[in-house]
Amino acid sequence: MASVQRTIDLSVPADQAWDAVLDIGAVDRRLVPGVLTDARLEDDGDVRVVTFATGAVVHERVVDVDNVARRFVYTVVDSPFAFRHHQASMEVLPTGQANCRIVWTSDLLPDELAGPVGDLMDQGADAMRRALQPEAEKINQS
């Protein structure tokens, strides 16, 4: 099983980044705008349907939301990608009073999809930096 991990260091408090990760129905607007163009919740909020900028639509089941550990886990249940298995987690860790780190891990099969998934995660990490850092700058200027 392939495991792909990205670490995103941010100049924002952990609670602020967690608030954006936790807003799972607005991931397209608050966390990875441009990479995702739409997100909606179905099945009483247990399934998130996301649309990528490429037009690909993916259904993700929410596995766990742990507010104490600031950890969100989801698994892909339907997508145009040929996954036999895909589960991912995002964990927001404080690295200082006004800084944090998001550790995003995807475990998947087949191993051959690690490259394309890593590329998408790179795009997502860049989008997170753009989306979350200006928010901190606006707050600091107030």
C-alpha span between 7 and 30 (Å, rounded): 18
Which pLDDT value is given to residue 24?
Answer: 96
Over the chain (142 residues), the average pLDDT of each successive run of 10 is: 97 96 97 97 96 96 97 96 96 95 98 96 97 64 48
CA dist., res. 124 & res. 36, Å (int): 9
pLDDT of residue 142: 47
Whole-number pLDDT of residue 6: 98
CATH 1.10.510.10 fits 2-141, yes or no: no
